[in-house]
């Protein structure tokens, strides 16, 4: 039985703390998958993030058609992992632009869901953190869609809500985040250098 399967079962059995254990494993899996794909693809090829996440899902959780809770926790962890990867990447690039230590660099190209310009990503990340504190489940929806690349339908199924509810939440959350980002921008306007 794989570690992930065991953890998913624990989650199903009500072991709340098992969720936190999932993140490092999922992250590891995504990283390995991405690395192996990148090694095999010709330069310039692109990876569909959804495909990556789904492939990781199949690999880790097997064909059990794993339980409701398990699926949600997995994709939640995948979204979180993706988020971290992206943020770190952006920060690294920022550091380089400001003349940080020389580093050996491998250039890779990966297609990943949604992200717009780097600035947007950082701002979104911060706004999302605040949003998470207010409404964890809606934030989860955003992450599933934006970082894990799930469609609205898939996200709705994963969260166990109706499609209509998912759409409603999406509309509200987008507005909230957009407003938050603009508020943040205007308050730092004077500090931008």
Partner 1 sequence: MNDAPDTPSTEREEAIFHGALQLPDALRAEYLKHACGSDPSLRERVTALLKAHEQSGAFLKEQDAPAQQKTIVISAPLTEKAGDRIGRYKLLQTIGEGGCGVVYMAEQEEPVRRRVALKVIKLGMDTKSVVARFEAERQALAMMDHPNIAKVLDAGGTETGRPFFVMELVRGIKITDYCDQNKLSTEERLNLFMQVCNAIQHAHQKGIIHRDIKPSNILVTLHDGVPVPKVIDFGIAKATQGRLTDQTLFTAFEQFIGTPAYMSPEQAEMSGLDIDTRCDVYALGVLLYELLTGRTPFDAKELVQSGLDQMRRTIREKEPERPSTRLSTMLDADLTAVAHLRHSDAPKLVHLLRGDLDWIVMKALEKDRTRRYETANGLAMDIRRHLGNEAVLARPPSNFYRLQKFARRNQIVFVAGSVVAAALIAGFAISTVLFLKEREARKRATEAERIQATLRTDAERGRELAKKELELAQLRPKYQEISQLLGTEQFDRAEKLFKEIPDRAESVPFYQVFGDLHIHFEQWDQALTNYAKVVEYAPSNHVGYIGIADVDANRENWQGARTNLARAIEVAPAEHEAYYKLGSLLVHTGDLEGYQRLRDQVLRQFGGTRESNIAERTAKEFLILPPPAADLVTLSNLTEVAVAAGPQSGYWPWFQYIKGLTEYRLGHFASAVDWTRGALKAARNVPFRNVGVYAVLAMAEHQLNQVDEARAALAKAREIAKSDLPQFGSHNLGPDWNDVTISRILLHEAEGVVEGGGTPSAK
Binding residue (CB under 8 A) for partner 1 from 37, 110, 122, 184: 110
Instruction: Note whether 20 binds partner 1 by CB under 8 A.
Output: yes
Q: How many CB atoms lie within 10 A of CB 154?
A: 17
Q: How far is the CB of 151 from partner 1 (least distance, A)?
A: 5
Kindly tell me the burial class for residue 56, based on how many C-beta atoms sit within 10 Å of its own C-beta (0-12, 13-18, 19 or more): buried
Distance from the first to the final alpha carbon of the chain: 54
Binding residue (CB under 8 A) for partner 1 from 134, 164, 187, 192: 134
Q: How far is the CB of 64 from partner 1 (least distance, A)?
A: 17
What is the C-alpha radius of gyration for the chain, rounded to an integer number of angstroms? Answer: 18
Instruction: Note whether 130 binds partner 1 by CB under 8 A.
Output: no
Binding residue (CB under 8 A) for partner 1 from 29, 71, 80, 144: 80
Q: Which stretch binds partner 1 (CB under 8 A): 56-64, 108-116, 184-192?
A: 108-116
Q: Which stretch binds partner 1 (CB under 8 A): 57-65, 136-144, 184-192?
A: 136-144
Report the distance separating Cα 99 and Cα 108, nearest Å.
21
Q: Please, what sign has the CA dihedral across residues 103, 86, 134, 9?
A: negative
Output the CA–CA distances (angstroms, integers) from residue 134 to 13, 17, 49, 139, 160, in the order listed.
27, 21, 28, 9, 20
Instruction: Note whether 163 binds partner 1 by CB under 8 A.
Output: no
Cβ(47)–Cβ(110) below 8 Å: yes
Instruction: Note whether 115 binds partner 1 by CB under 8 A.
Output: yes
Closer residue to partner 1 (CB): 62 or 84: 84
Q: How many CB atoms lie within 10 A of CB 115?
A: 17
Binding residue (CB under 8 A) for partner 1 from 35, 58, 163, 165: 35
Q: Which stretch binds partner 1 (CB under 8 A): 54-62, 147-155, 184-192?
A: 147-155
Instruction: Note whether 97 binds partner 1 by CB under 8 A.
Output: no
């Amino acid at each position: 039985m794989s570690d992930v399967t065991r953890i998913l079962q624990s989650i199903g059995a009500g072991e709340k703390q098992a969720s936190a254990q999932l993140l490092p494993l999922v992250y590891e899996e995504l990283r390995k998958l991405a690395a192996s794909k990148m090694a095999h693809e010709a330069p310039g090829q692109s990876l569909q993030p959804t495909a990556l996440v789904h492939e990781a899902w199949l690999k880790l959780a097997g064909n059990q058609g794993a339980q409701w809770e398990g699926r949600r926790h997995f994709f939640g962890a995948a979204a979180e992992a993706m988020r971290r990867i992206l943020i770190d990447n952006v920060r690294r690039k920022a550091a380089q632009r400001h003349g940080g230590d020389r580093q050996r660099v491998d250039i890779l190209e990966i297609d990943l869901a949604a992200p717009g310009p780097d600035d947007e990503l950082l701002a979104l990340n911060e706004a999302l953190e605040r949003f998470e504190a207010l409404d964890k489940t809606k934030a989860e929806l955003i992450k599933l869609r934006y970082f894990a690349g799930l469609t609205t339908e898939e996200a709705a199924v994963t969260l166990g809500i109706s499609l209509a509810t998912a759409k409603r939440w999406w509309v509200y959350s987008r507005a909230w985040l957009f407003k938050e980002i603009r508020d943040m921008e205007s308050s730092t306007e004077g500090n931008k250098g």
